[in-house]
Structure 1
Amino acid sequence: MHLEFHQIDAFSERPFGGNPAMVYRLDAWLADELMQRIAAEHNLAETAFLVQEGAAWHIRWFTPTTEVPLCGHATLAAAHALFELYKEPGERIEFICKSGELRVTREGVRLVLDFPAQVPQPLGEPQELAKALGVEALEVLGTDKLLVLLDSEQAVRACKPDFAALAKLPWLGVIITAVGERHDFVSRFFAPAIGIDEDPVTGAAHCSLIPYWAQRLGKQELSAYQCSARGGELLCRLEGERVKIAGHSVLVASGRLWLS
């Protein structure tokens, strides 16, 4: 038995940029343990599995160590695979996941994610956070992730966290962010507790970043850059309780996984 897979770099116009995701279109769900083992084998930030049920596509995402409730870049990659490789008709794809309904539309050369906004709430600075990040926070907020405001883009780029210490914090991950020099804001995202020391470009983190910066800057449309080593640019828009996140994507590899 074999399964077809596609590796797609999301939030990038060129190969080897943005955030790579592996995509499997399945006829029926595999056992959870097997999907987790497949994700561990690929060892990318996320592997997405898709099954069509009725008019909608159901989607699940796995890091090398665990299943996650929401992933932006792998959803963008999944939509790219469906549109470009499997010739899904129309200009919009509906996804169903554990976090609810997601939509991806084609707008010119970009794909646009339509995700729920996750408005972060102010927190006191958690014990050990400053030591784990090695930088001073101006503000700390949270949802299922911590959002930490720093004083400059340079501080975001220069941050060298203690990943073992971050993994002990009781949050899914930690976002650091600041006003950008050429973009409205920049960010980085660390999630060692779920097997990802640093995620190259994180759509789900922008579900919190967009409402935060929209309120702080007084604007609904924002340009963003996640300044990891690979890096990625996102065009963002706040629309009520939803966020729109637009980006490019590119196929870099296809192949077969043999199970017997």
Structure 2
Amino acid sequence: MFVPLYQVDAFASRRFAGNPAAVMVLDAFAADEHLQAIARENNLAETAFLVPDGPDFHLRWFTPTVEVPLCGHATLASAAVVMERLAPERRSVIFHSASGPLTVSRAETGYVMNFPARPMIQTMIPDTMAAALERFPVEVLVDQFNYLALLETADHVRQLAPDLAAIARLDRGGLILTAPGDGGYDCVSRYFAPAKGIPEDPVTGGAHCALAPYWAARLGKTSLRAFQASARGGELLCRVVGDRVELEGSCAFYLEGRADIRC
């Protein structure tokens, strides 16, 4: 069975930047183990699977090793596929997902996603995290998905070489490192999720569902310019709207073709 396959660089205004995602359009979801095998074959941080449902789509995300409940960059890439390739006349799309309905709309320079915010609470630094980091964080927070470690400077975030094996032993799926921004950005960050098969994610929408309300409260503003300081790098515009977060970014198409997904 041949299905459309797209590879899109999300949160990027040019190719070879941002976070690449595979997007595959199916008539119906295959068995979970088959979807996982396809994601493993694609070997990107995320593969998004779309199934049409009237004007909307059902959306699921898989890393090379697990299904995840939310993925920002692959949702952005999916919206670009819908509104640039499948239905160029559309101005918005609703994706039904494990995190509820997710609306993505066209913006002047890309797309705006509306996601649930992820408020975090302060906690003690776990011993495993202390072993993973080269320096002691200013503070540590946690939600049901990730830990967040605040470092003193943006340079500390950029230069840190954490112990990925130790991060993989945390009792959460990933670790967000963040600091006050530089170069005109309100905040900088990096994200590590080796337990999910992603040693370092280039640009992470889900992490900014926590970063946006965190920095909005610290800075006293609801609109933020954020930069994820991975090797590829990525820029996001973040807005906190009640208990939701709007994430805005651009996409660049890299690959378009078809895949034979028969076992």
- Range class of TM-score, shorter chain: over 0.9
| Structure 2 letter corresponding to 1:200 | P
Q: Which residue of 2 is the match for residue 191 of structure 1? A: 193
What's the CA shift string for 1:170-196, capped at 9, x where partnerless?
Answer: 101000000011200000000000000
Structure 2 CA distance for aligned equivalents of residues 223 and 155 of structure 1: 19
Cross-structure match for 2:163: 162
TM superposition shift of 1:55: 3.3
Q: Tell me, in whole angstroms, the C-alpha distance in 1 between the residues paired with 2:172 and 2:22.
A: 25
1:142 and 1:10 mapped to 2: Cα distance?
A: 26
Q: Where in structure 2 are the equivalents of 1:221-240 lying within 5 Å? A: 221-240=223-242
Aligned to 1:214: 216
Amino acid at match of 1:246: E
Q: Following superposition of structure 1 onto structure 2, how do residues 70-219 of structure 1 map, counting pairs within 5 Å?
A: 70-87=70-87, 89-143=89-143, 144-182=145-183, 183-219=185-221
Q: Deviations along 1:136-190, whole A, 9 cap, x unmatched?
A: 1101001110011000000000110111111011101000000011200000000
Q: Which amino acid aligns with 1:212?
A: Y
- The one-letter code of the counterpart of 1:55 is P
Which residue of the partner structure matches residue 241 of structure 1?
243
Alpha-carbon distance in structure 2 between the residues aligned to 1:103 and 1:8: 19
For residue 30 of structure 2, what is the aligned residue in structure 1? 30
Size of the alignment, in residue pairs? 260
Partner SS, residue 206 of structure 2 = coil
Q: Distance in 2 between matches of 1:217 and 1:167?
A: 31
What is the deviation of 1:59? 0.3
**C-alpha deviation, 1:109, in angstroms:** 2.2
What SS class does the counterpart of residue 204 from structure 1 fall into? helix
Deviation at 1:258, TM superposition (A): 1.6
Q: Over aligned residue pairs, what C-alpha RMSD do you find?
A: 1.0
- In 2 relative to 1, CA 88–98 (structure 1 residues): closer, same or farther, beyond 3 Å? farther
Amino acid at match of 2:255: A
Q: Does 1:67 align with 2:67?
A: yes
Matched residue SS, 2:205: coil
Aligned equivalent of 2:43: 43
SS of the residue corresponding to residue 124 of structure 2 reads coil
The separation in 2 between residues aligned to 1:259 and 1:97, in whole angstroms, is: 22
Distance 2:151 2:108 in 1: 34
Separation in 2, partners of 1:106, 1:259: 31
CA deviation map 1:101-144 (0-9, x unaligned): 11100011210010000111111111121221222110100111
Distance in 1, Cα, partners of 2:237 & 2:254: 22
Unaligned runs of 5+ in 2: none
Letter in 1 for 2:150: L
Asked if structure 1 preserves the Cα contact closer than 8 Å seen for 2:22 and 2:44, the reply is yes
How far apart, in 1, do the equivalents of 2:178 and 2:149 lie? 6
Q: CA deviation at 1:88?
A: 5.1
Is the 2:38–2:261 contact (alpha carbons within 8 Å) kept by the matching residues of 1? no
CA distance in 2, matches of 1:100, 1:213: 24
